[in-house]
Amino acid sequence: MNPPRQPARRSGRTKKPAPSTLPAAAETPAPVAPPAWTPMASVPLAVRWGDLDAFNHVNNAAFLVYVQEARLAWLAAIDGTWFDETMMPVVAAATMNYRRQLTWPAGIVVELAATRVGNSSLTIAHRVVAAGDRDCVYADGEVVMVWIDPSSGRSVPLPAAIRSACRPAEPVAEAAAQ
């Protein structure tokens, strides 16, 4: 038979709680749009029923598709050569901050603004907003695009057409939201 176990002695010192690695709700970053947000493209899109997940709101991955569609609409509207057999854009980094749930049906607008134009790369801020209320931000973030030589995979200078397109512009045709 084993003797009864003695309770462990306490030293009187208390252990400090580990610092939290999660930000407090008050520390959530504000949307990326500065007060003078002037998009170089505003692309209207319609939320599709297929974008919903099991919780009946737009799946987080669909937001990345919305931003991709907006970038492609912006690129397609650029005058001049921005890709050919010697240069093409690739996404090097993408961030998305989810601000509020988005449900179906809904009309949205993806706004794009160049925040940094480098030698071979471009940082594009994006905002997914309600079509009828641009102050209603569903998501925001940014994408870094790098122009590369597809045969070598090495960066190449940013095309002149891209440099000149990185300014505020007229909205892309509203037909996509219809």
Q: Mean pLDDT of residues grouped by 10 in the chain (178 residues)?
A: 56 50 48 64 96 94 97 95 95 97 96 94 96 95 97 95 79 48
> Domain spans of the chain?
36-168
> Count of CB atoms within 10 A of residue 19's CB?
5
Tell me 165's DSSP state. Answer: H
Question: Candidates 3.10.129.10, 3.40.50.620, 3.40.190.80, 3.40.50.300; correct CATH number of 36-168?
Answer: 3.10.129.10
DSSP 19-83: PPSSPPGGGPPPPS--TT---SEEEEEE--GGGB-TTSSB-HHHHHHHHHHHHHHHHHT-SS-S-
pLDDT recorded at residue 9 = 54
pTM value is: 0.74
pLDDT recorded at residue 20 = 45
pLDDT recorded at residue 38 = 83
pLDDT recorded at residue 149 = 96
pLDDT recorded at residue 26 = 46
